[in-house]
Amino acid sequence: MSIIIPKPENGLNYQIKMPDCKQPEDCENDNERWERISRIINPSDSEKSKFHRAKIRAIDMRSVNPVDVINPKPEIPEQLIWVKTSRQIIDKYNVGLHQGILAFLSDFNIMATSLMPHGISILNKQLQPASLDHTIWFHDDFIVDDWLLYQLNCDRTGSSRGLTRGYFFERSGKLVASTIQEGLMRIRE
């Protein structure tokens, strides 16, 4: 993982616009959704680790339009996901702590976005996924225990790899971080 933190200075400023979407209060909690999915498909012991990784209690994630992991169909590879820590961070002024937590959660859902145009679920037993290269740029300070919108778009897949970029926005629309990841998405025969 590469992390880039530029030194603030005066200069020209521009950013992309935050997409219009449902607010997090109007979206289902992803932990609850994964719990429901695990009851539907009753995963084997070897598959339970995927569900355990998907359910991180310390992070509250809410997909605006959740991907159907049980009956996947080819879709435009875009996701909007509201994210924040489940509990308040006591040290509001520890910028590095907030950046570290955001770097951790920035890896979630990137691979699933790359799989969307192929109609393949992250739960596919033949899938061999791995993060090959992940970079995050921090543009501005933010608080990770307040809602951030994570916009994910896959730009290309090929040669068993997917390239996905992401943007983190505060509710106000301010872009605070950007990510890009190349991931392995090999289908074993």
> Mind listing the pLDDT tens digit for each residue in 134-187?
999 999 999 999 999 999 999 999 999 999 999 999 999 999 999 999 999 999
CATH architecture of 21-28+59-187: Roll (3.10)
DSSP, collapsed to helix, strand or coil, labels residue 84 as: strand
- 102-134 pLDDT per residue, tens: 999 999 889 999 999 999 988 888 899 999 999
What is the band of 9 on the pLDDT scale with cuts at 50, 70, 90?
A: confident
Q: How many CB atoms lie within 10 A of CB 174?
A: 15
Share of the chain above pLDDT 90, in %: 60
Q: How far, in Å, CA of 34 to CA of 29, rounded?
A: 9
Residue ranges per domain, the chain?
A: 21-28+59-187
Is the pLDDT confidence value at 38 over 50?
A: yes
Query: Under a CB-based contact definition with an 8 Å cutoff, are residues 152 and 165 in contact?
Result: yes
Is the pLDDT confidence value at 6 over 80?
A: no
Burial of 36 (0-12, 13-18, 19+ CB in 10 A): exposed
- 49-63 pLDDT per residue, tens: 554 444 566 888 999
